Amino acid sequence: MTSLSARPLALACAFLGFAACALAQSPLERAEALLDQGEFLAAERLIESLALAKKPDPVAVWELSRVRTGQHQTEEGIRLAEKAIKLDSKQARFHAQLGAAIMEHMTEVSRIDQSSWGNRMRKAFEKALDLDPRNLVALLGLSRYYWSTPPASGGDLGKAQQFAERARQVDPLKGELELGAVAARRNDLPAALKHFEAATELGPTNVDAQISCGHILMRLGRLTDARERYENALRLSPRSDLARVSLEALDAAVKAAEAKPAR
């Protein structure tokens, strides 16, 4: 049995072990972990000088592109991704980041310009998959490209389904979310709900999965169930604007239904 006096020493040793692990990580590794958590400013502090040096580190440039894209500075995000590719064209994640930066930029340009940007985005994701067939960013990006693009401009729900299924093999939760999005685009609401519910089981604390379930339940007219999902999302993330707005839309729909005169 561990004595009471030994416990503080054991805790101190454990803390030092964790600290040593953190110190063993390079600034680039720490920045990547921060980026995955959405901590853009903290990541920027670690890698900006490495990315902007006379001889920049290609990974730092890629990470700074992720930072700028996350900060909605999309033109700079694109420029940095292109720079990273020039420094090392064999990195699938660099090409995937170019596609991701362009995807974000497309929300800021006119509909006329979206077609040419869309083609650039698709080619960047395709190049990423040529280098790494399991690159999740590229798989999800191509799925979204094919389900969001009109058929006359190259959209294809069959291809979107294929890329979403490949994404599910890499990341089951994100794959289920993407398959749900494809099914919703087909207007197959029962299938979409099945995928989104599977995502909530894989990630009970995933806010996107809860909100997506709520959206489909609302479209199916199951307003009480939709409210439960939106409220779950708000409990998980009290600052979620999407969960709050979704609840407000649900309340408006309920009031409109109650105000409609009975026939």
Q: What is the pLDDT of residue 18?
A: 44
Six token digits for residue 37: 């958590």
Q: What is the pLDDT of residue 38?
A: 81
Give the start-to-end residue ranges of the domains of the chain.
27-156, 171-263
Task: Using CB atoms within 10 Å of the CB of residue 107, give its burial: 0 to 12 exposed, 13 to 18 middle, 19+ buried.
Answer: exposed
User: Kindly report the CA angle at 239 between 76 and 223, in degrees rounded to 5?
Assistant: 115
Q: What whole-number distance in Å separates Cα of residue 69 and Cα of residue 27?
A: 20
- 143 CB-near residues (< 8 Å, 6+ apart): 160, 161, 163, 164, 167, 178, 181, 182
Better-scored residue on pLDDT, 169 or 251: 169
pTM above the 0.85 mark? no
Asked if 27-156 and 171-263 have one fold, the answer is yes
Six token digits for residue 58: 């290609």
- Per-residue pLDDT tens digits for 2-22: 444 555 555 555 544 544 444
- Per-residue pLDDT tens digits for 19-74: 444 445 788 889 888 888 788 888 888 888 888 899 999 999 999 999 999 999 99
Q: What whole-number distance in Å separates Cα of residue 36 and Cα of residue 48?
A: 17
Percentage of the chain lying above the pLDDT 70 cut: 90
pLDDT range class, residue 101, cuts 50, 70, 90: very high
Better-scored residue on pLDDT, 150 or 198: 198
H/E run at residue 231: helix 223-236
- pLDDT over 50 (residue 243): yes
Homologous superfamily of 27-156: Tetratricopeptide repeat domain (1.25.40.10)
**Cα distances (Å, whole numbers) of residue 253 to 8, 202, 216, 243, 260:** 57, 30, 14, 15, 11
**DSSP assignments along 111-130, one per residue:** HHHHHHHHHHHHHHHHHHHH
Say if domain 171-263 classifies as CATH 1.25.40.10. Answer: yes
- Per-residue pLDDT tens digits for 114-140: 778 999 999 999 999 999 999 999 999
